[in-house]
Amino acid sequence: MAGEVAFDDKAIVVYDQLVNQQGRSELAPKSVRAYMNKAYAVSDLGDRRREVALYEQPIRIWERLANEEDHQELFEDLARCRVQLGNALIALGERKRGLSEMHSVRTILEAEIAQTGCTGLKRFIVVLQKKSQSMIAERFSGS
């Protein structure tokens, strides 16, 4: 697992240089995925605080790109990233902030579906609804 994290560190450095210093914005999706892969690996190691920080970086990248260029291919990654960020926050005991992240995903996806008609994104909304229902049931069951 430590080897995966080290590999992801190298990928992040390379993509950050290419995207941010050389203006290669077409590589931004790969940069986002490198951060997400590292966050997954760190999650497996149980380091939730670091995981949260790693999910926040691709969200910032996506938000910057969304304002500058049309990177629709990142919507799915953004949704996945925000859901994982929400899960990590909830695991840290930051339930309200975690649920807020998940709610923001739904809002973003619904707006994108309305704008583009991309129905493939609807599956994330279904996943979010199930997750929310599960958390509500867990709260009322006393878990």
User: Token match 């190298």: residue?
Assistant: 10
Alpha-carbon distance of 1 to 134, in angstroms, equals 30
Instruction: For 21-36, write each residue's pLDDT tens digit.
Output: 898 888 888 888 888 8
**pLDDT, position 71:** 61
Instruction: Give tens-digit pLDDT for 79-135.
Output: 778 888 988 998 899 989 988 888 888 887 787 778 777 777 777 777 777 766 676
Per-residue pLDDT tens digits for 2-19: 565 666 788 888 988 998
φ, ψ (nearest 5 deg) of residue 94: -95, 60
The two counts, helices (H) then strands (E), for the chain are 6, 0
Amino acid at 81: C
Res 142: pLDDT? 52
CA 105-52-112 angle, 5° bins: 15
Q: Could you tell me the pTM of the whole model?
A: 0.74
Rounded Cα distance between 79 and 28, Å, is 16
